Every structure is written in structure tokens, then in C-alpha cells.
Homo-oligomer: A and B are copies of this chain.
Amino acid sequence: MSELRKDPVTGRWVIISTERRKRPTDFRLESVRLAPDSACPFCEGHEEMTPRELLAHGRNGTAPDTPGWTLRVIPNQFPVLRVEGTLDRQAEGLFDKMNGIGAHEVIIESPKHEETLATLEAEAVEQVLWAAAARVQDLKRDHRFRYIIIFKNHGAAAGASLEHSHSQLIALPIVPREVRDEVDGARGHYETKERCVFCDILRQEMADTRRLIAENADMVAVAPYAPRFPFETWILPRRHQALFEEAPRHEYAALARLLGDILRRMNKALRMPPFNLLIHSAPVGEATGEYYHWHVEIIPKLTKVAGFEWATGFYLNPVAPEEAAQVLRDVRP
């Protein structure tokens, strides 16, 4: 029989329905294979094809927007939101709107086209996290921004328009709904129990172990109890902390190692799946320090979202997280 499960943070229910499929890894998916592309604007040597860099790592005296870097951050050439202008909140009869003020940046994670977060050295992945944190710290100085989301689309099926490994940052003038639901849920838990719900989850998952995938000194990877998607994986810092951008450097190093490990496990078990990755951190300027707990979510793109999900917001997941965790635990690197 299928099971309805409730996410303890947001209160969102999912249906875990494993009866329709054979093995937990049977998906018709588009494996992501990177092919060299001489027209790629993110490759080293093509710096003139992008907007001017905001930040670069690895330059030993080379000039901005020239070769000789290990990581670059640039404004998105086609930003969905722009820094210039004013919000101009206004009504349109019954409706509400404002100008698309925000920021949209791209972190080019490697000068080489064929690298991914799964193949890069841990030090290079750590550089990506470090650059993301630095950009968040800088963007937070603009008081119009209420939230800065860091995310990644890997593979065309996961929405990537360029295949060269990159992450994106979008600064928003509004705290978005998914984050609001997490923050409100975590506050509700804290008000009742005076404990962080994520710390409670970590403690239970460490004791239970069925949904535990991998861990190191600072970070734990689990399959969440009520995942929306098959093989959805969360990585949480053991230490309570609301803000990703204020984590100590050794936590970025630990996250980089565990993230690479998890992505290599997924590549092996799920045949190089497309995926989305996101970092949930607390909203800018809200006193969430006691109850919010930053974390990473990885969502392999294995199934199609259909009418039922759009109609209800209720997700149908054909793989139990206990099965997914076991598959990923059992991968031999």
C-alpha cells in the first residue's frame, strides 16, 4: 500500500507510491553527457563573450576578463531581474505588481567545459561555495533584497541552457513562498519545542540510519522523510546555523567533499542524471538564528511533474527515501 507522509518543516504531504515500478532506479531519463563546444561563452579564452567579471579566483596577476582563472562570477547576460531602477510597488485594480528589481549572477565553476561538480577536485568545489557566500555577503548590502537564492541546473532536462558547469544567484525583493513556508514551519516548531526542527531531524536520522546516505565530520547527507522527488537528497551541517554565507570555512570544505561524493554516487546509480541543486539559507534581515538551519537540496530530474502535482501541490513519489538512501549508500565509488 502507498503511504502519505508529511514534511515536518513545511507540513507538505507527499504520496510515496512504489507499486507501479520495478526497481528504484528504473527511469527513462536523459543522461547528461558534455561535449566540447567551441562557441561556449563560459570556456577559458572566451571571456569577451560574457559581461565583465564581478569576481575571479585563481588569477596570478592576469587581467580581469582574460584567461588565467579557476572560477569567474559574472552578471547574467539575460537577467530575469535587474539592479537598476526602483521597485515602484503599485496596484492595478485588484492586482499588485512591482518592477523586476533584483540581481542575477552566474558562477562559472571551472575554466574547462567538461568538468562538473562531480569531477572537480574538492578544493575547486569549495571555491564555488566560497564565491557564492562572498557574492551573497555583497548583495545583502542592497537593502531592497529580501532573499538571495543560490541554485544550479545541470543538464537540459533540468533547465540548463548552457552545459558548461555553472551555478546562479538571484537576489529577490521578496521572500519566496518555499522559503517562507520553511521559515514559518521552523518557527512554529521552535515556538512549541524551543528546538530547531532541522537539528531534531538530524538527530532522528542519525539514530534511525535508514535514510542516512553519507556523512563526514561537519556534514550529513540524508534522503528526507517526505521527499517530493525520487532520490531527493539534503545535505545539512551538523552545527546549527541559519545562514549559509556565515558558515566557517571548514564547513564549506566538508560540504564540498560530501557534495562531490553524493553527485558521484548519483552519477553511478542513476546513469548521469540531470539535476537541480539549491541552497536554502535564512531570509535577509530576519531574526531566524535560533530556529532556521541552512542546507543544500539536490533533486535529480527522473520523473515528470504532471497535472496532479500542478493541481494539488501534493507530490507523487515512486521511490521511498529508505530505498533511495540504500541505493546511494551501496554505490561503490
- Which residues of A come within 8 Å of B, CB atoms? 1-6, 8, 12-13, 15-17, 19-20, 78, 80-82, 85, 92-100, 147, 149, 151-153, 156-160, 168, 170, 172-174, 176-179, 181, 197, 200-201, 204, 208, 225-226, 276-280, 297, 299, 304-308, 310-314, 316
- Indicate if the CB atoms of A308 and B97 lie closer than 8 Å: no
- Indicate if the CB atoms of A99 and B4 lie closer than 8 Å: yes
Closest to A208 in B: B93
- Indicate if the CB atoms of B226 and A100 lie closer than 8 Å: no
CA gap between A170 and B17 in the complex, in Å: 14
Give the shortest distance, in Å, between A90 (CB) and chain B (any CB). 10
CB contacts (< 8 Å) of A158 on chain B: these are 304, 306-307
CB contacts (< 8 Å) of A93 on chain B: these are 204, 208
CA gap between A297 and B3 in the complex, in Å: 28
CA gap between A157 and B30 in the complex, in Å: 13
- Indicate if the CB atoms of A82 and B305 lie closer than 8 Å: no
- Copies per complex? 2
Contact A100:B151 (CB < 8 A) given known A276-B310, A312-B178: no
CA gap between A181 and B1 in the complex, in Å: 29
Closest to A98 in B: B4
CB contacts (< 8 Å) of A92 on chain B: these are 225
CA gap between A11 and B151 in the complex, in Å: 24
Of B94, B179, B208, which one neighbours A200 at CB under 8 angstroms? B94
Of B6, B277, B299, B306, which one neighbours A95 at CB under 8 angstroms? B6
- Indicate if the CB atoms of B15 and A81 lie closer than 8 Å: yes
CA gap between A208 and B92 in the complex, in Å: 10
Closest to A156 in B: B304
CA gap between A204 and B85 in the complex, in Å: 29
Contact A177:B312 (CB < 8 A) given known A97-B5, A225-B95: yes
- Indicate if the CB atoms of B153 and A80 lie closer than 8 Å: no
Q: Could you list 24 examples of A-B contacts with CB < 8 Å?
A: A2-B100, A3-B97, A3-B100, A6-B97, A8-B94, A12-B177, A13-B174, A15-B100, A17-B100, A20-B78, A92-B225, A95-B204, A147-B312, A149-B308, A151-B307, A151-B311, A152-B307, A153-B306, A153-B307, A159-B304, A159-B307, A160-B306, A172-B314, A280-B311
- Indicate if the CB atoms of B177 and A314 lie closer than 8 Å: yes
- Indicate if the CB atoms of A305 and B159 lie closer than 8 Å: yes
Across the A-B interface, the 4 shortest Cβ-Cβ residue pairs: A159-B306, A2-B100, A176-B312, A278-B311
CB contacts (< 8 Å) of A316 on chain B: these are 80
CB contacts (< 8 Å) of A201 on chain B: these are 94
